[in-house]
Amino acid sequence: MQPTPSTSTQWGRVADVHGDHDPERPVARASLLDAVTDLRADVEATVFPLPLADVEHARERRRALLEQLDDHLLPRLRELSAPGLVVVAGSTGAGKSTLVNSIVGEEVSQAGVLRPTTRRPVLVHHPADGDLLAEHPLLAEVDVAARDVVPRGIALIDAPDLDSLVEDNRRVAQRLMDAADLWLFVTTAARYGDALPWHVLDQAAERKVSMAMVLNRVPKDAVVTVRSDLLARLGARGLSSVPLFLVPDAGPHEGLLDDKAVAPVRRWLTVLAGADRAQSVIARTQRGAIGALRPWIGELADAVEAQVEARADLERRVDACLEKPGAAAAASVQRGGVAEGPVRSAWSSRAGSGPLGRGWTSRRGHAARVEALEHVGSELEGAARVALVAARRSGARAVDAAVGDELDDLPVPETAPVVPAPDVDAVAWLADTAAAVEHEAARSRGAARLVRLAGARGAGVVVAGAAVGLGAARVHVEQAMGSQAGSELVQQAADDLVTRVRAQVLAAGASVRAALDTPDLAADAAARLQLRRAVLKEWT
């Protein structure tokens, strides 16, 4: 395509913001180029972490939008003088390759191969346009041929079958169409009534893509009938201005079509390649593509909002599912469940006339008393650990029942708040209880007396035992400290254990919240896309 010195529309003529640019080659205004570049960055940063029912569709739409930006809009905005890409597309066996070869006058694209198969598309351009296409991302998908017969200003691409049984063929064909400045759709007289041609035409109308239609293999005795019917169908869809070319049926043959059969298409492409005409076609498709971005971005923003709403719903479900096991675990501790079994047995075996019974205040029995409390403390630590493990497991079961595998793909960040492991928590509870007794002993004669009788750790064991329901331990605490002060210290230890048990239940919920605490699921996660959509409004 030749430079157009008179171009001064909203597309503009400015220096390329990405580096030096030939002032005779038009580029888009920097503000539009920046807007689309920023949009591309935000679309790439958009992800859909939660496996919602339609998440694969949203991910596919995001991928397609990135390809549209990378393959068409950004390359075109950065180099308006690049040749217009004319994609020759159609259904299996429509004769696309033969048509391209016949236009060029030689076989540049393999035709007549067995289908389905995977083959690379072919792009044919004028040799003088090679430098303008050198950086185009589509070159990685196509084989390139330079031929003098192709008018400067356009490049023909023979695309794979849109209805190919090979998925990769269909994907590449759609990608090429999304990247094109003009679609040249090829179908046959026998198949123009199929759904595919009209789906493509509707796509073009919706996106305001410039296009033309080639009806191949038209029987001579049906030219008038077929042409009239097809024009009527096009008119009914508001597409009466779409150029229509009829190629007569050449019957069984190999090689190129008769030159007269493709001459009208070749002449039209030559006219199209003229500077003013080509710029007009490119600008029309460009405006249509930018106009199509806003609903496309809105669709992705809605998908992000659905993710945000799902995150809030997950958090509500997790919170709700943990209420019952949390209350049950706390009630078990408050009922004295930790004291049952080994703890009570260890205390009872050393009560009566032993060091924890009538010998409680004996000076001679201090060493035996400390040793007995050490044994009780070991059993108490083990029982607390069992309660904490049970609490953690009950929370995990509840969360698993509530959310199942909905969060399997979400990593828990390293900075997530971590609830101590049950064994660590049990040790910490006893240590904190002993520390609380020592702290009280510094200001209370009663607490100091308890420490003298039992030792620092032993005093903590006595208070902890009272906290889990050992009546004899509570008696010792209250005798040493007084009823009110002793009861307060015991209640503090009991509340601490209940808090730890509840925290273990809630640990599974904390992990879920940490996994959901990502910018991709934040309340304003869709704001970037909504902003880009608003910015593009001035260009549509």
Same domain (yes/no): 264, 325: no
Cβ atoms of 226 and 64 within 8 Å: the answer is no
Q: Give the number of C-alpha atoms closer than 13 A to the C-alpha of residue 282, restricted to the C-beta side.
A: 33
d(CA 56, CA 375): 59
Domain boundary among 273, 296, 331: 273
Cβ atoms of 78 and 32 within 8 Å: the answer is no
Whether 538 is covered by a domain: the verdict is no
Same domain (yes/no): 319, 388: yes
Name the 3-class secondary structure at 435.
helix
Cβ atoms of 169 and 118 within 8 Å: the answer is yes
Q: Total structural domains in the chain?
A: 2
Q: What is the pLDDT of residue 112?
A: 55
Whether 537 is covered by a domain: the verdict is no
Same domain (yes/no): 338, 247: no
Same domain (yes/no): 233, 93: yes
Same domain (yes/no): 321, 268: no
Report pTM: 0.74
Same domain (yes/no): 211, 354: no
Whether 391 is covered by a domain: the verdict is yes
Same domain (yes/no): 430, 481: yes
Domain boundary among 218, 252, 273: 273
Whether 261 is covered by a domain: the verdict is yes
Q: What is the pLDDT of residue 412?
A: 66
Same domain (yes/no): 384, 260: no
Q: What is the pLDDT of residue 140?
A: 87
Same domain (yes/no): 148, 245: yes
What tokens does 71 get?
């393959």
Same domain (yes/no): 268, 343: no
Whether 6 is covered by a domain: the verdict is no
Whether 518 is covered by a domain: the verdict is yes
- Give the model confidence (pLDDT) of 204-244 as tens digits: 878 778 889 999 999 999 999 999 998 998 888 888 888 99
Q: Which domain holds residue 465?
A: 313-528
Q: Quick one: how far is CA 330 from the chain centroid?
A: 39
d(CA 133, CA 144): 10
For residue 234, the domain's CATH number is 3.40.50.300
Whether 45 is covered by a domain: the verdict is no
Same domain (yes/no): 376, 465: yes
Whether 196 is covered by a domain: the verdict is yes
400 Cβ contact partners less than 8 Å away, ≥ 6 residues apart: 508
Domain boundary among 273, 292, 323: 273
pLDDT along the chain (540 residues), means of 10: 34 34 52 92 96 94 94 88 91 91 92 58 94 90 94 93 87 89 90 85 81 91 91 87 91 86 93 77 84 93 97 94 96 94 93 86 88 95 96 94 82 68 95 95 93 93 96 94 94 97 92 89 96 87
Same domain (yes/no): 179, 123: yes
